[in-house]
Amino acid sequence: MEFMEERIRKDGRVKEGGVLKVDTFLNHQIDVKLVRQIAKALKEHFGDAGVTKVVTIEASGIAIASITAEEFGVPMVFAKKSKSKNLDANVYRSQVYSYTYDRFYDIVVNANALGEEDKVLLVDDFLANGQAMHGLLDICDQAGAEVAGIGICIEKSFQPGGQTLRDEGYDVCSMAKVKSLENGQVEFE
């Protein structure tokens, strides 16, 4: 989407290690009008898919998922990052490797928040190696929920997550696809 590429060109900052900072408009200070545009684009793409819930991971996905859920007229659920290892029978739990923090963490969703009757749209701010998405897919699988598709604000297509998910048969809709962050420059596909 042109609007997303334009905003990244204007306000995105490239950091060491292939990291793109977007914290002035997407995941710290948030341009809600931009998020509304993202939500409308996702509605345009997935509007006929019978979505019953929008699901993301805290914290960066929450604003995007909330406004997207409002566009669809369905609830939003965010997987919580859990520090406790207790094996609560009433939660779905999965493990995710964090690209930005270089460590593993658990994510949990209450069993009463997701079930067999749900058709889920998964959303997140970034898609890089696909670890966060695979954690959410694992939770949907445990819940018996169907996945309608995956909506991403910024896909880093020089990392394998997007291709892997498409190869697995998922409909991945990304607002912008970044093919390189080399030499501090953002290049789009």
Contact track, ligand 5GP, 37-76, x by CB under 6 A:
-----------------------x----------------
Minimum CB distance to ligand 5GP, residue 73 (Å): 25
Give 37-76 as a DSSP string. Answer: HHHHHHHHHHTTS---EEEEETTTHHHHHHHHHHHHTS-E
Beta-carbon contacts of 28 under 8 Å, excluding residues fewer than 6 positions away, are none
Beta-carbon contacts of 162 under 8 Å, excluding residues fewer than 6 positions away, are 127, 130, 152, 155, 172, 174, 177
Of these, 24, 37, 82, 131, which contacts ligand 5GP (CB under 6 A)? Answer: 131
Residue 60 or 94 with smaller CB distance to ligand 5GP: 60
Minimum CB distance to ligand 5GP, residue 111 (Å): 23
Q: What are phi and psi of 114, to 5 degrees?
A: -150, 135
Cβ atoms 51, 77 nearer than 8 A: no
Only one of the segments 38-46, 70-78, 119-127, 136-144 lies at the binding site for ligand 5GP (rule: CB under 6 A); that segment is 119-127
Which residues share a beta bridge with 83? none
Of these, 5, 71, 118, 124, which contacts ligand 5GP (CB under 6 A)? Answer: 124
Of these, 55, 127, 148, 150, which contacts ligand 5GP (CB under 6 A)? Answer: 127
Only one of the segments 35-43, 47-55, 69-77, 120-128 lies at the binding site for ligand 5GP (rule: CB under 6 A); that segment is 120-128
In the three-class reduction of DSSP (H, G, I as helix; E, B as strand; rest coil), residue 27 is classed as coil
Residue 156 or 177 with smaller CB distance to ligand 5GP: 156
Cβ atoms 180, 158 nearer than 8 A: yes
SS3 of 146-177: EEEEEEEEEEECCCCHHHHHHHCCCCEEEEEE
Residue 19 touches ligand 5GP, criterion: CB under 6 A? yes
Residue 76 or 132 with smaller CB distance to ligand 5GP: 132
Residues near ligand 5GP (CB under 6 A): 19-22, 27, 60, 99-100, 124-132, 156, 161
